[in-house]
Chains A and B, each alone.
Chain A
Amino acid sequence: MNHDQNSILEVRGLGIHFGGVQALRNVSFRLDPGKIIGVMGPNGAGKTTLFNLITGVYKPSSGSIWLGDQQLQDLPPYRICHVGIARSFQSGRPFTNMTALENVLVGLHFGRGSGVLGMAEARIRASEILALVGLSKQGGRPVSSLNLMERKIVELARALATCPKILLLDEILAGLSPMDLAPAIAIIERIRDELGITVVWIEHIMKVLMETCEHLLVLHHGEKIAEGTPSEVTANEIVAQAYFGKKEGVQHG
């Protein structure tokens, strides 16, 4: 997969406050395309807030967000989707009044590059996407009848259907049984390798992030305290202090 300048996500001096609470302060980074980038940090560090800002669900109080040479911070969420950024939600928010296939169809009909596919073609494409994430058999089933793992993967498939350049995953492994972890991770790696999509991934399971990600961002109290390869981040003293020194964050896994 070759990447152009237009699939580089860059955040400059990003900040947001809710009333007096500064949820995110002066965060900047630039993400190389085609990689899996982990976002870590204790609870309340501002990870999900960061995703809400990038996808336009919240408007930043300061700073800017760029995809290539396009500024995103003033666009509504659906336009940011059309530019090429898709996401999943922390607690899992698939459309529960539809089947798995219909969830994917919403992404195809309204995402980036929508309008190209006819109704019949879209159904075929939707089945292909479900096959890619290993949900071929569940396509016709209502989401309300699926288990947690399947629901999370449906949400992932819906995001993929919008043809993103950047995919933001918010704790997609949370709540899954240990048995389901490996297949889910394999799907995420396949998204990077076969589709060439940049994955930005919030997760609490450190071991997984360390093993899967090429690059890590560490947030703490709304600020970026470290960035680099997994080995660089583990060697970082500020990170060690944030995680272990004051016993603030609780880790799982």
Chain B
Amino acid sequence: MSRKHWASLALVVVLAILPIGISSYHMSLLVSVYLAVALAGSWNLFAGTTGYVSLGHGLFFGIGAYSFAVSLVTLGYGPVASFALTALCTAVCATVLGFVLLTTRIRVAYFAIVMLGFNEIIKTVVANTKSLGSSYGLTLPPVPSNLIAYYFLLGLAVLVVLLFFLIQRSKWGYGLKAILSDEVAAEVTGVNTVALKMAMFVISGTLVGLAGGMIAWHWSYIDPYMAFDLAVSFEMVVMAVFGGIGSLWGPVMGAVAMSLLKEFLNTAVPQLHSIIFGGLVIILILWCPGGIVELVVNLRRRLKKADATDRTTR
């Protein structure tokens, strides 16, 4: 293991023992940070690896939230079984949707918009289904301990990052990079592009679904407008792009930076926070299209350069 790996492991260990000494405010803040990392990271697992930008990935968040609620409340299963059912449900939905959208050679732009459309369709269907509580939503029993959400979402965030890391270094990683570069060339080089895109889509969707399930339980109430809120879909994209799409740490940094910034602006300038927040995002994207990751790399290069010239002039 390299120094970077040890540092990542140490960070996870510190976060794992952190709840012992922090206030409940800080804990819920961290829960929202982990949720952001899990969502942006899951989105990146598909969009960042294949180039297919999904503008409706929150669809899986909503499906996960409802799967969990129905399993726990309506069917009366325990939490563990309910999470298993949530994963299964979102995986099946992602597979079906993947068959519809990815087996044909759909253009990337159409894909983005069709995903958004599906989110709206499912939202409307749920809002009109009595057994799902229609627009009134469903109430869930409260989570026994706040630690459950803390560890579940921390675990999910770590899993998402780890998966991206492992896939990037595997055979699949080469196939995905090929798809990102040129799908036709990838296909004639033997890459089963449909299967690979499908696999990433299902993995990504399932992870988002699990996050949705946990949040439904954490909130102990969901309705269609929260579960399928387009803000969930958009925030995933913005955080990943803000940090650096397609990179390992980009979405993590983007999610951490944006969720903390949002919280800070929310308390500091409650009336103006959305405007300032939006402005900052636009400035960063214009100034540095590769996101925070690119910013860091450029800064490092500049520092190294300055260091080198410093030494030669001395």
- Is there a chain A Cβ closer than 8 Å to B188's Cβ? yes
Most B CB contacts (10 A, CB to CB) among A96, A97, A106 go to: A106
* Contact in complex: A98, B190 (CB < 8 Å): no
Across the interface, which residues of A come within 8 angstroms of B186, CB to CB? 95, 106
Across the interface, which residues of B come within 8 angstroms of A220, CB to CB? none
* Contact in complex: B187, A102 (CB < 8 Å): no
8 Å CB contacts to A: which residues of B148-193? 171, 174-175, 177-178, 180-182, 184-193
Among A77-85, A145-153, A172-180, the stretch that binds chain B is A77-85
- Is there a chain B Cβ closer than 8 Å to A105's Cβ? yes
- Is there a chain B Cβ closer than 8 Å to A86's Cβ? yes
Among A108-116, A131-139, A202-210, A233-241, the stretch that binds chain B is A108-116
Give A66 to B182 CA distance when docked, in angstroms.
27
Across the two chains, which residue of chain B brings its CB closest to A92?
Answer: B185
Give A161 to B132 CA distance when docked, in angstroms.
53
* Contact in complex: B190, A57 (CB < 8 Å): no
Which single member of A57, A80, A94, A106 contacts B184 (CB below 8 Å)? A57
- Smallest beta-carbon distance A127→chain B, Å: 16
Across the interface, which residues of B come within 8 angstroms of A159, CB to CB? 189
Give A93 to B192 CA distance when docked, in angstroms.
18
A107 and B188 in contact, given A97-B180, A98-B181, A102-B177 (Cβ under 8 angstroms)? no
Across the interface, which residues of A come within 8 angstroms of B177, CB to CB? 95, 97-98, 102, 106
Across the interface, which residues of A come within 8 angstroms of B191, CB to CB? 78, 106, 110
- Smallest beta-carbon distance B104→chain A, Å: 12
* Contact in complex: A87, B188 (CB < 8 Å): yes
- Smallest beta-carbon distance B165→chain A, Å: 15
- Is there a chain B Cβ closer than 8 Å to A7's Cβ? no
A110 and B180 in contact, given A102-B174, A105-B174 (Cβ under 8 angstroms)? no
Most A CB contacts (10 A, CB to CB) among B175, B177, B178, B192 go to: B178
Give A183 to B193 CA distance when docked, in angstroms.
34
Interface size on A, residues (CB 8 A): 31
- Smallest beta-carbon distance B179→chain A, Å: 9
Give A164 to B187 CA distance when docked, in angstroms.
14
- Is there a chain B Cβ closer than 8 Å to A243's Cβ? no
* Contact in complex: A95, B185 (CB < 8 Å): yes
- Is there a chain B Cβ closer than 8 Å to A162's Cβ? yes
* Contact in complex: A110, B188 (CB < 8 Å): no
Give A183 to B270 CA distance when docked, in angstroms.
69
Which single member of A57, A78, A96, A119 contacts B192 (CB below 8 Å)? A78
Which single member of A95, A109, A111 contacts B181 (CB below 8 Å)? A95
* Contact in complex: A81, B180 (CB < 8 Å): no
Give A109 to B169 CA distance when docked, in angstroms.
13
* Contact in complex: A106, B174 (CB < 8 Å): yes
* Contact in complex: B171, A95 (CB < 8 Å): no
* Contact in complex: A95, B178 (CB < 8 Å): yes
Give A105 to B170 CA distance when docked, in angstroms.
11
* Contact in complex: A81, B190 (CB < 8 Å): yes
Across the interface, which residues of B come within 8 angstroms of A107, CB to CB? 189-190
* Contact in complex: A111, B190 (CB < 8 Å): yes
- Is there a chain B Cβ closer than 8 Å to A73's Cβ? no
* Contact in complex: B178, A81 (CB < 8 Å): no
* Contact in complex: B184, A109 (CB < 8 Å): no
Across the interface, which residues of A come within 8 angstroms of B178, CB to CB? 95, 98, 106, 110
A109 and B171 in contact, given A95-B178, A98-B181 (Cβ under 8 angstroms)? yes
Contact with A along B3-43 (1 / 0, CB 8 A): 00000000000000000000000000000000000000000
Across the two chains, which residue of chain B brings its CB closest to A162?
Answer: B190
- Is there a chain B Cβ closer than 8 Å to A76's Cβ? yes
Give A114 to B191 CA distance when docked, in angstroms.
10
* Contact in complex: A89, B185 (CB < 8 Å): yes
* Contact in complex: A93, B182 (CB < 8 Å): yes
The 10 closest A-B pairs by CB, nearest first: A110-B190, A81-B190, A95-B181, A77-B187, A111-B190, A93-B185, A109-B171, A110-B191, A97-B181, A77-B188
Some 14 contacts from A to B, beta carbons below 8 A apart, are A57-B187, A57-B188, A76-B187, A80-B188, A87-B188, A89-B185, A93-B182, A93-B185, A97-B181, A106-B178, A107-B189, A110-B171, A119-B171, A162-B190
Q: A95-B185, A110-B171, A110-B174 are in contact. List 12 more A-B contacts (CB 8 A).
A: A57-B187, A76-B192, A77-B184, A78-B187, A86-B188, A102-B174, A105-B174, A106-B178, A106-B186, A107-B189, A107-B190, A110-B189
